[in-house]
Chains A and B, each alone.
Chain A
Amino acid sequence: MSGGTELFPGPDRDAAEAILGRYPPAHRQSAVLPLLDLAQRRHGGWLPPAVVDAVGDYLGMPSMRVRELVTFYSMFHDRPVGRYLVQVCRTTPCWLRGSDEVLAGAREELGIAPGETTPDGLFTLIEVECLGACADAPVVQINDDYHERLDGERMRAWLRDRRGAEDD
């Protein structure tokens, strides 16, 4: 895979070029983070090595430099994740407000441990550090949305609903 056409087909091409347009032409590499984000959204929420290399080619960067970024930032994933990435905050405020219960609820409902993905590929459960929404602890981030003031039962209910909706 190389070049922008295959990496960002159709309307994504315009989006990629709009991102590039935010930076001076001599500094295309500045666009690497938003482009990786765009690429990740278009490739099932994770970045396969070929996509990482293609982003490097697109920007004229050595692939090693792009790989470094992908492994540095926790919002990029270099392994497949489920359609719903459930990130349970476990930092002190959430922990004091019951994040253990929330995590236990998710574990029971999904039948997986943190770091694992359900066999149907729908859910990936991970623990994360502070999501910056302590006022509404405990907090869980699922894909781009925050779910606040949760408890174990509400966590389970949400996951149950989602699974039901996906099964339909």
Chain B
Amino acid sequence: MPTLSIDGTEIEVAEGTTVLRACEQAGVEIPRFCFHERLSIAGNCRMCLVEQVGVPKPLASCAMPVTDGMQILTRSERVQAAREGVMEFLLVNHPLDCPICDQGGECDLQDQALYYGRVRSRYREAKRAVTDKDFGPLVKTVMTRCIHCTRCVRFMDEVAGVPELGTMGRGEDMEIVAALDGCLHSELSGNVVDLCPVGALTSKPYAFAARPWELSHTESVDVLDAAGSAIRIDSRDGRVLRVLPRVNEEINEEWIGDRSRYAVDGLVVRRLDRPWLREDGGFRPVTWEAALAAVATALQAAAPERTAALMGDLPGLEGMTALADLMRARGVASVDCRQDGGAYGPGVPASWRFNAGIAGIDRADAVLLIGTNPRREAPVINARFRRRWRTAGLPVARVGPVTDLTYPVTELGAAAQVLVELAEGSHPFADVLERARHPLIVVGSGALARPDGGVVLGLARRLADAVGVAGADWNGFSVLQRSAARAGGLELGIVPADGGLDAGGMLAAARAGGLDFAYLLGADEIDPDAFRDTFTVYQGHHADRGARYADVLLPGAAYTEQAATYVNTEGRPQQARPAHPPPGDARPDWKILVALARELGSPLPYESLDGLRSRIEAAVPHLAHIDQLPPVAPLAPFGDPDGVLDAAPFEEMVPDYYRTCPISRASATMAACARAVADA
């Protein structure tokens, strides 16, 4: 291990460390624009210059590996002069338009100009101007501000795997361009806004909306897919203005998908902000008292066996627990958290979790995807698959429709029958999995929601046994969920009790007139027509599909407005925190249900959030271990491997990445993205 001195302090670093990294380890900050720890090294901005004693020219520290005995100076006069020189050159063509630039206040160039910029410019010639480019509905360009660090180009090339950005020309004529105008064809494109160290790439929907110092920051988790990415919600005056990723090395690193980032404009439209009661074919606004009384009356009149409760994709553990407790106290058996009808082994956590862990992808050495498109179902997880392929040549095979995942895939066809061959070991890819030390089998939640979902699950399980996916330190049998609520509902055991109906059974019974009362907690990804003749209560934050035939609409809170716990696809509980109170008369989900139970005359055994969380902890202790992976779940038997497979091939489960839930369907930005992709 080489030892070097940085500003006179000796430090020992690992072989191959760059001077910049060594300086960071020594606690010395080095200014930079082009260098980014998650991208390849470009070495083109020159801002990170340092001096090496005995070397005549300053070094670009980001690209210089440490050698033993190096003496580095970062605060000498030469270094200061060199950096001032670089800054002066960068500012030659950079416009002085900070007052009208959205990056203002959170701009690397602005910050570093404070330390290295000259007070007055010596430049008297014309500045260059660059035509703006059309990067689509999410990324606004002001290309005259670009300093050509190429972070955006490298991100799209390396992380997103969509090499659509490039540098055209050279020297003064150099420009960043997109391959096609109108759209970047990546679900991760918004991250280039965070990466841009200047105001060349800014957020289009957030343009001129706020200054960073006016915003309140709320650390929370994303619920628009099941990865559970760490986010920061920036709000002002009771409105979410933007969502940014936070670093969580085990999940999203520092990226988030475009839907998670940009769907938040949907939070302020089509909202339920007061209770409504259906009357004479229309809705009438009513008070909470009247609405709860109407629900209580109908619920008391309904027979428990003709009553059902269904939970959607977005509720947190607290709301789901309160609804399940309320219903079970009344003897209702038909309570289900799986609105998609997914077949999971009841009570077997290994059958619904991504058991390998998202970070486990970094260890995987062979992957089989079954009926899943991770690029659309969880873009940040797909980025890990891509990196693993780039760094270690990860072999990936897929049973399902052919789509571009941004890495090479061995296509095994979309027919489910190939699972039998794989499970029997007669398919060549079974050997690849068997030879792998850390084989990973990823089953899509969509594959389990087919009529033969139990057979698919059972065959995947049998294959897992045959190739030995579970070892002492590894369980490669993994289910990739698409909705933020599903794993949590399953951990809580919210499935029908004996004799109860599951989601499919509820819909069928409702169509046949066999239900008196249905309670939909944000259940929107179903056919609402089924509930046309049933007394239906819809509790949620948007007047979306589930509200269409409801008799009572109860306004709940969205994920940015209530404290709620979500369990991601790994089974990891994380807490969402409210950035502001819900709009109008809307209330947190659990409070509505506590009030309803009181109205029914049979109060729930908790009246506070803490009480409710204690109840959850008592039932499922690991759900209280926030941010922790759950204890390893044994690969107990589940599924029905000997059942009959459907002839139907696996289908794409997310035909429209941008619109998958009530929030994203209400978002004008997401609609614009869907149009841009369709037009391109």
- Chain B window 655-672, contacts with chain A (Cβ cutoff 8 Å), 1 for yes, 0 for no: 000000000000000000
Q: Given the complex of chains A and B, what is the CA–CA distance between A68 and B176 in angstroms?
A: 10
Q: Given the complex of chains A and B, what is the CA–CA distance between A66 and B169 in angstroms?
A: 12
Q: How far is the CB of A144 from chain B (nearest CB, A)?
A: 23
- Chain A window 67-78, contacts with chain B (Cβ cutoff 8 Å), 1 for yes, 0 for no: 110011000000
* Residue pair A62, B163 in contact (C-beta under 8 Å): yes
Chain A residues with Cβ below 8 Å from B53 are none
Q: Is B164 part of the binding interface, using a Cβ–Cβ cutoff of 8 Å?
A: yes
Q: Is B413 part of the binding interface, using a Cβ–Cβ cutoff of 8 Å?
A: no
Find residues 34-91 in chain A having any chain B CB closer than 8 Å to their own CB. Answer: 62-65, 67-68, 71-72
* Residue pair A72, B170 in contact (C-beta under 8 Å): yes
Which of the listed residues A64, A67, A68 has the most CB atoms from chain B within 10 Å of its own CB? Answer: A64
Q: Given the complex of chains A and B, what is the CA–CA distance between A65 and B177 in angstroms?
A: 12
> Nearest residue in A to B167 (C-beta to C-beta)?
A68
Q: How far is the CB of B192 from chain A (nearest CB, A)?
A: 15
Q: Given the complex of chains A and B, what is the CA–CA distance between A71 and B169 in angstroms?
A: 5
Q: Given the complex of chains A and B, what is the CA–CA distance between A25 and B116 in angstroms?
A: 47
Chain B residues with Cβ below 8 Å from A64 are 163-166, 179
Which A-B residue pairs are the 4 nearest by beta carbons?
A: A62-B163, A64-B166, A71-B168, A68-B166
Chain B residues with Cβ below 8 Å from A62 are 157, 163
Chain A residues with Cβ below 8 Å from B168 are 67-68, 71
Q: How far is the CB of B176 from chain A (nearest CB, A)?
A: 10
Q: Given the complex of chains A and B, what is the CA–CA distance between A157 and B157 in angstroms?
A: 51
Q: How far is the CB of B140 from chain A (nearest CB, A)?
A: 21
Partner of B170, one of A65, A67, A71: A71
Partner of B163, one of A65, A71, A72: A65
Chain A residues with Cβ below 8 Å from B179 are 63-64
Chain A residues with Cβ below 8 Å from B169 are 71-72
> Nearest residue in B to A70 (C-beta to C-beta)?
B168
Q: Given the complex of chains A and B, what is the CA–CA distance between A63 and B165 in angstroms?
A: 10
Q: How many of A's residues come within 8 Å of B, CB to CB?
A: 8
Q: Given the complex of chains A and B, what is the CA–CA distance between A68 and B166 in angstroms?
A: 6
Chain A residues with Cβ below 8 Å from B163 are 62, 64-65
Chain A residues with Cβ below 8 Å from B157 are 62, 65
Q: Given the complex of chains A and B, what is the CA–CA distance between A41 and B586 in angstroms?
A: 70
Interface of A is mostly: helix
Chain B residues with Cβ below 8 Å from A65 are 157, 163, 166
- What are 5 A-B residue pairs whose CB atoms fall within 8 Å in the complex? A62-B157, A64-B166, A65-B166, A67-B166, A71-B168
Q: Given the complex of chains A and B, what is the CA–CA distance between A21 and B163 in angstroms?
A: 27
Q: Given the complex of chains A and B, what is the CA–CA distance between A63 and B179 in angstroms?
A: 9
Q: Given the complex of chains A and B, what is the CA–CA distance between A67 and B170 in angstroms?
A: 12
Q: Given the complex of chains A and B, what is the CA–CA distance between A64 and B169 in angstroms?
A: 12
- Chain B window 157-183, contacts with chain A (Cβ cutoff 8 Å), 1 for yes, 0 for no: 100000111111110000000010000
Q: Given the complex of chains A and B, what is the CA–CA distance between A112 and B25 in angstroms?
A: 61
Find residues 135-166 in chain B having any chain A CB closer than 8 Å to their own CB. Answer: 157, 163-166
Q: How far is the CB of B179 from chain A (nearest CB, A)?
A: 5
Q: How far is the CB of A36 from chain B (nearest CB, A)?
A: 15
Find residues 589-606 in chain B having any chain A CB closer than 8 Å to their own CB. Answer: none
Q: Given the complex of chains A and B, what is the CA–CA distance between A62 and B406 in angstroms?
A: 12
Q: Given the complex of chains A and B, what is the CA–CA distance between A65 and B165 in angstroms?
A: 9
Q: How far is the CB of B441 from chain A (nearest CB, A)?
A: 29
Q: How far is the CB of A85 from chain B (nearest CB, A)?
A: 19
Q: How far is the CB of B161 from chain A (nearest CB, A)?
A: 10
Q: Given the complex of chains A and B, what is the CA–CA distance between A67 and B177 in angstroms?
A: 11
Which of the listed residues B157, B166, B169, B179 has the most CB atoms from chain A within 10 Å of its own CB? Answer: B166
Q: Given the complex of chains A and B, what is the CA–CA distance between A67 and B157 in angstroms?
A: 14
Q: Given the complex of chains A and B, what is the CA–CA distance between A68 and B168 in angstroms?
A: 5
Q: Given the complex of chains A and B, what is the CA–CA distance between A72 and B166 in angstroms?
A: 11
Chain B residues with Cβ below 8 Å from A63 are 179
> Nearest residue in B to A67 (C-beta to C-beta)?
B166
Q: Given the complex of chains A and B, what is the CA–CA distance between A67 and B163 in angstroms?
A: 12
> Nearest residue in A to B156 (C-beta to C-beta)?
A64
Q: How far is the CB of B40 from chain A (nearest CB, A)?
A: 13
Q: How far is the CB of B70 from chain A (nearest CB, A)?
A: 31
Chain B residues with Cβ below 8 Å from A71 are 168-170
Q: How far is the CB of A65 from chain B (nearest CB, A)?
A: 7
Q: How far is the CB of B47 from chain A (nearest CB, A)?
A: 22
Q: How far is the CB of A22 from chain B (nearest CB, A)?
A: 25
Chain B residues with Cβ below 8 Å from A72 are 167, 169-170
Q: How far is the CB of A86 from chain B (nearest CB, A)?
A: 22
Chain A residues with Cβ below 8 Å from B165 are 64
Q: Given the complex of chains A and B, what is the CA–CA distance between A84 and B589 in angstroms?
A: 76
Chain A residues with Cβ below 8 Å from B167 are 68, 72
Q: How far is the CB of B348 from chain A (nearest CB, A)?
A: 44
Q: How far is the CB of A76 from chain B (nearest CB, A)?
A: 11
Q: Given the complex of chains A and B, what is the CA–CA distance between A65 and B164 in angstroms?
A: 9
- Chain A window 107-131, contacts with chain B (Cβ cutoff 8 Å), 1 for yes, 0 for no: 0000000000000000000000000
Q: How far is the CB of B390 from chain A (nearest CB, A)?
A: 14
Q: Given the complex of chains A and B, what is the CA–CA distance between A62 and B164 in angstroms?
A: 9
Q: Given the complex of chains A and B, what is the CA–CA distance between A67 and B153 in angstroms?
A: 13
* A64-B164, A65-B163, A68-B166 known, 14 other contacts, Cβ within 8 Å: A62-B163, A63-B179, A64-B163, A64-B165, A65-B157, A65-B166, A67-B166, A67-B168, A68-B167, A68-B168, A71-B168, A71-B169, A71-B170, A72-B167
